[in-house]
A = this chain, B = another copy of it.
Amino acid sequence: MAGPDLWFTDQATPGLRTSFGVASVLYQGRSAYQDIQVMELHDCGRCLVMDGKVQSAERDEFIYHEALVHPALIAHPRPRSVFIAGGGEGATLREALRHRTVRRAVMVELDPEAVRVCRELLPSWSAGAFEDPRTDLRYGDARRYLEQTPERYDVIILDISDPLEGGPAYRLFTREFYQLVAERLEPSGLVAVQAGAASLIDQPVFPAVVNTLAAVFPQVVAYQAHVPSFGSPWGFATASLQAAGRRAPWAWSPRAVDRRVSARVETPLRFYDGTTHQALFALPKYLREALAQERRQIADDAPLFMP
Contacts and interface: CB of A to CB of B under 8 A. Distances in A.
B18 A14 contact: no
A194 to B, nearest CB: 17
A221 to B, nearest CB: 13
B16 A20 contact: yes
A11 B275 CA distance: 32
Task: Tell me the number of copies of this protein.
Answer: 4
A200 to B, nearest CB: 5
Interface string A198-237: 0111100000000000000000000001101101110000
Interface stretch (A1-9, A83-91, A151-159, A294-302): A1-9
Contacts of A284: 63, 225-226, 271, 276, 279
A16 B2 contact: no
Contacts of A52: 1, 5
Interface string A53-73: 000000110010000000000
A103 to B, nearest CB: 28
Contacts of A270: 285-286
Contacts of A112: none
Interface string A118-158: 00000000000000000000000000000000000000000
A279 B282 CA distance: 5
A16 B5 contact: no
Interface string A247-273: 000000010000000000000011111
Contacts of A9: 5-7
Given A232-B228, A279-B279, A10 B16 contact: no
A59 B15 contact: no
Given A5-B10, A14-B4, A276 B282 contact: yes
A244 interface: no
Interface of A: 1-11, 13-22, 24-25, 28, 35, 37, 41-44, 49, 51-52, 59-60, 63, 199-202, 225-226, 228-229, 231-233, 254, 269-273, 275-276, 278-279, 282-286, 288
Given A25-B25, A271-B285, 7 more contacts: A7-B7, A7-B19, A18-B18, A25-B28, A43-B201, A254-B282, A279-B284
